Copies of this chain bind each other. A is one copy, B any other.
Amino acid sequence: MSLSPNLSVYVTSPDSKSDSRDEKIVRELLQAIIDRRLRPGTRLPEDSLGEAFKVSRTTIRKALQKLAQQRLVTMAHNRGARVAQPSRKEAEDVFTARRLLESALIPMVHQHQQTPAYAELHKLVKQEVAAREAGQWQEEVQLSARFHVQLAVATGNLILGEQVAQLTSLSSLIISLYGTSASVGCDCGEHKDLLKLIEENKVEQAQKWMDHHLDKIYRTINTSLDSGEDVDFKSLFSS
């Protein structure tokens, strides 16, 4: 059961040898997107990307197609690929889905209790706090995302792990698009509290906490902002 490229960005996968050329490119692009080095709407021409990665367009297209299926890039016919600009509706859907999934899987984490998973989670919390104190902005965001993914992986269910990983990547993109200054550092360090609740068998409280946590993040994003995505003018100017 091989890991999807999306998951492999978050979990420290020991199988770094099974890198086909295009997966490495997928990971690098993915990383660049969630690091906000590629902003939403940025065009992704196959030629220049191929030149940058020193591969042909064929390989680039394979990578772009994979990202497109994760909704991280959009591909319009004959008009190329660009970094996705999720609509406000889509943003809401993503966070709603996350609240549903991630609070529902907490009982599984508790049930499937495995020491190594908890150790990993504690480590991530530690690193996250350290990154915040060091003012390492990008690192902190990345670690926060990894915490959420790792929690899903701690259920022992890879399917859930991948779904959460995908939603987390989309969240990064959404925050990159609609996020205010508050979206970034507002709620960090608190992950420790969640972990504590789980370990103290306060499962229901932990679920509520997670639901609240994600809702808070969603509320920080500025949904009134225009996304700049393609608008359906036909319905907008129906005279």
Contacts and interface: CB of A to CB of B under 8 A. Distances in A.
Interface of A: 1, 4, 20, 62, 65-66, 69, 77, 87, 89-90, 93-94, 96-97, 100-101, 104-105, 108, 157-160, 163, 167
B77 A157 contact: no
A83 B4 CA distance: 17
A87 B158 CA distance: 12
Nearest to A99: B104
A14 B20 CA distance: 38
A1 B65 contact: no
Given A96-B159, A100-B160, 11 more contacts: A4-B69, A62-B65, A90-B158, A90-B159, A93-B157, A93-B158, A94-B159, A97-B159, A97-B160, A100-B104, A101-B101
How many protomers of this protein does the assembly include?
2
Contacts of A163: 97, 163
B69 A159 contact: no
20 contacts: A1-B87, A20-B77, A65-B65, A65-B66, A66-B69, A90-B158, A90-B159, A93-B158, A93-B159, A94-B159, A96-B108, A96-B159, A96-B160, A97-B157, A97-B159, A97-B160, A101-B101, A104-B104, A159-B167, A163-B163
A69 B5 CA distance: 10
B160 A90 contact: no
A101 B90 CA distance: 18
A56 B65 CA distance: 18
Given A65-B62, A69-B66, A69-B69, A100 B108 contact: yes
B77 A1 contact: no
A160 B93 contact: yes
Contacts of A65: 62, 65-66
A22 to B, nearest CB: 9
A172 to B, nearest CB: 15
A227 to B, nearest CB: 12
Contacts of A4: 69
